């Protein structure tokens, strides 16, 4: 018998429902991968490194004299982001959280390139944006836009 849990984000899917949905998501997990997935997804630490590097780069972008983002610290943060991203692309996620992390990275490639919130929301209704957001929401249970 499977148990349905309730988290802060609402009711969680049962393990049976998650496992039966995985083939439809394009992720095929073997028994050893499932055993490992309960403790470690290789994507998640890389995603965290990617987020940290992006956050550091954003902080450094506002430094006086860094208008062209040529400060060595900005370049180092950008390089860390690129390395983490490329490593994520070489690995297979083993959890829904890992798939969600990859969807968040994909969001950076498809999200609207504008700062006006109303225009952004309208442009985010495109098919490519909606597809990435749907995957991210299904994997994370979060609302809004993917965390980047």
* Structure tokens that stand for 102 in this block: 């990859």
* Structure tokens that stand for 50 in this block: 């990617």
| Dihedral angle, C-alpha 55, 60, 63, 69, nearest 10 ° | -120
What number of other Cβ atoms are within 10 A of residue 22's Cβ? 15
Q: Residue 16's pLDDT is what?
A: 53
Mean per-residue pLDDT pooled into runs of 10, the chain (148 residues): 38 47 50 54 97 95 86 94 97 96 96 95 96 96 94
What number of other Cβ atoms are within 10 A of residue 9's Cβ? 10
Q: Residue 95's pLDDT is what?
A: 95
Q: Residue 38's pLDDT is what?
A: 56
Q: Residue 69's pLDDT is what?
A: 86
Q: Residue 139's pLDDT is what?
A: 96
Look at residues 91, 5, 76, 107 and name the one whose alpha carbon lies nearest to residue 46.
Answer: 91
Q: Residue 110's pLDDT is what?
A: 96
């Amino acid at each position: 018998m499977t148990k349905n849990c309730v988290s802060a984000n609402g009711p969680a899917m049962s393990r049976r429902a998650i496992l039966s949905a995985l083939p439809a998501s394009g992720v095929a997990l073997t028994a050893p991968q499932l055993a490992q997935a309960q403790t470690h997804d290789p994507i998640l630490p890389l995603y965290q490194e990617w987020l940290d590097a992006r956050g550091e780069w954003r902080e450094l972008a506002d430094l006086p004299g860094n208008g062209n983002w040529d400060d060595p610290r900005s370049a180092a943060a950008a390089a860390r982001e690129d390395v983490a991203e490329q490593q994520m692309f070489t690995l297979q996620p083993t959890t829904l959280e890992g798939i969600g992390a990859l969807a968040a990275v994909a969001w950076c490639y498809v999200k609207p390139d504008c700062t006006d919130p109303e225009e952004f929301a309208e442009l985010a209704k495109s098919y490519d944006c909606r597809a990435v957001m749907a995957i991210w929401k299904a994997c994370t249970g979060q609302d809004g836009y993917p965390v980047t």
